[in-house]
Amino acid sequence: MDIMKTEKSTQRAPFSATVEREERLVICKMQGDLDVNGAPVLRNVFIANIEDKDNFIVCDMSDVSYINSAGLGVFVGIHKHTKDRGGQLMILTPQKTVKRVFKITSLDLHILFVDSLDEARRIASGETRAEEQSGD
């Protein structure tokens, strides 16, 4: 009798990101795993697409299932960019495992999590203050 040995795959899903613009909002839709290979991809997407005037950025992370310190480092830079311009970085609908990483590192105290694009639009337009959303 042959015994087949199976191993759990540790291969990560390739990371990709696209950027769309609205009147006061930049929306970055992400897919894949934001790890040491994905972080440079995200950094390059932001370098190529984010302008100096952009101060409200939404990162849709609903299709990101993994993030590590390399990915978090990119968000720290994006957060600084938005804060320096009087704006806000917002994370849209992250998966539980991803949100937990932000919480463990206390980045959830600085980066705003939103449940919808409409909520992000209200914050960017000034209808809702970010402090009201984050509990600050």
Domain 16-134: CATH superfamily, name plus number: STAS domain (3.30.750.24)
Element (H, E) at 28: strand 26-34
Angstrom distance (rounded) from CA 17 to CA 38: 9
Rounded Cα gap, residues 134 and 136, in angstroms: 6
Q: Which DSSP category does 107 fall into?
A: G
Give the predicted TM-score (pTM) of the model: 0.85
Q: What is the pLDDT of residues 77-134, one digit of tens each?
A: 999 999 999 999 999 999 999 999 999 999 999 999 999 999 999 999 998 766 555 4
28 pairs with which residues across the strands? 19, 59
- Domain chopping of the chain, boundaries: 16-134
Specify the pLDDT at position 11: 64
Instruction: Tokens for 111, please give them.
Output: 């980066």
- pLDDT over 90 at 52, yes or no: yes
Share of the chain above pLDDT 70, in %: 86
Mean pLDDT, residues 63-75 taken together: 96
